[in-house]
Structure 1
Amino acid sequence: MHPGIPDEEQARTMTLEAFADTIVPGEKRSPDDKAVAGAATGGGAVAAGAVELLETSAAGLAPALGDFAQLLNRHAQAYADQHGLDLDGSVPAFVALQFPDRTALVGMLTAPGHPEREAWVSIALFSNMAFDTAAHMHTLDALAAGHPGLTAMGFAEPNADGLWRFPVYSYGRELASLHPGTTSSGSPA
């Protein structure tokens, strides 16, 4: 293998990271980070664990991620050819695209009428989900690790016992009466 050219596993991961970073941009993890474009400050989908979420069995996409990455790179190469772009051959084609070109290509792939739209929208949704909810982690662990999405949203820390209780109504008033059959743990009867 030629030095500097990623193997198949690295290429898959870099491509998926670049896609996730296009959906929820973040800052580069290091100066030589090629997957994360650095289009925003703070952690984005990649730092939030988008690839880890995509790889969970619960997401249902793990077996096809290699195929999606290859397909995305074929689309990126076709896009580059159409636009006369010279891509860095040491990284996968989608990773080699500049951020505005990545966003343009993802916009085309997720547009109504594109035959692969559902697949690309699914991957985009999981990228958002990783940032918005840390769905692949226990919330306590995500908060302890400084999860970028939960932190950016100001997600409340739990009480000392690890449970969330809200003694003040978030809307400043009680919205509904507690059901008389509600148990002390808050579960419905």
Structure 2
Amino acid sequence: MRPDSMDGRASRTMTLEALADTIIPGEKRGPDDAAVAGAATGPGAVAAGAVELLETSATGISQDLDALVRDLNEHARAYAAQHDRTLDGGLPPFVALSFDDRTALVKSLTAPGHPEKEVWVLLSLFSYMAFDTGAHMHTLDAIAEGHPGLATLGIAMPDPDGLWRFPKFSYGRRLADPHPDTDATGSLA
């Protein structure tokens, strides 16, 4: 979809998807997918719902996404000019960058000393949260729906009583004995 034929919402979504895909890459959704670069096989942050998470009010930044997208695209224009890159004028500037250039730009925006570091790190963390935890969904719903990040991580359903127990310790051995006041539910009495 060309920017001159897309509305601001579509351009914003593509830019946020391209940012999320830079943080946790995934495979393209189709041959015309400009936002997802296809730098990795399997699902990435976009498939895991990064944009849905960013747009929830619980993030505290959803009302600022238009301004953040505008700023990211301005940074992309400046990066392209500085590195002699020609951008496809039919795409939002950040989306028009190659995956390597997107990565280099995000690396510079999140580097120590960058004056806007905190906001770009925050957006990056939300991409991780969408993939690693499905933070925009109830965990049981996410697992039941086959959330790509949780499936990749191998998160299993809880026991019938709703508690997660791990009889095969992740380190292959018990790390500590339960506290003597631990009750049958795993809580301290």
Normalising by structure 1, what TM-score? Answer: 0.90
1:78 paired to 2:74: no
- CA shift for structure 1 position 40: 0.6
More divergent stretch after superposition (159-168 vs 121-130): 159-168
Q: For 1:31 and 1:57, locate their aligned partners in 2 and report how far apart those are by CA, in whole Å.
A: 32
* Contact persistence 1:140–1:162 (CA under 8 A): no
CA shift digits 1:92-116 (9 cap, x unpaired)? 1101111111111111111111111
- Number of the residue aligned with 2:27: 27
The CA deviation string for residues 111-150 of structure 1, in whole angstroms up to 9 with x for no partner, is 1111111110110111111111111111122122222222
Q: Match of 2:58, as an amino acid?
A: A
1:19 partner amino acid: L
Q: Percent identity?
A: 66
Q: Which residue of 1 aligns with 2:44?
A: 44
Q: CA RMSD in A?
A: 1.9
Whether contact under 8 Å (1:6, 1:91) holds in the other structure is no
CA distance in 2, matches of 1:16, 1:118: 17
Cα deviations across residues 45-79 of structure 1 (Å, max 9, x unaligned)? 11111111112222111111110000000111111
Q: For this pair of structures, how many residues does the alignment match?
A: 188
State whether structure 2 residue 100 is matched by structure 1 residue 107: no
Q: Where does the alignment leave 5 or more consecutive residues of structure 2 unmatched?
A: none
Shift of 1:85: 1.9
Matched, 1:120 2:120: yes
C-alpha distance in 1 between matches for 2:95 and 2:108: 17
Partner of 1:68: 68
Q: TM-score scaled to structure 2, two decimals?
A: 0.90
CA distance in 2, matches of 1:179, 1:140: 28
Alignment of 1:1-189 (within 5 A): 5-160=5-160, 162-189=162-189
Q: Which consecutive unaligned segments of at least 5 residues does structure 1 have?
A: none
What secondary structure, in the 3-state scheme, does the structure 1 residue paired with 2:22 have? helix
Quote the Cα distance in structure 2 between the aligned partners of 1:127 and 1:28. Answer: 17
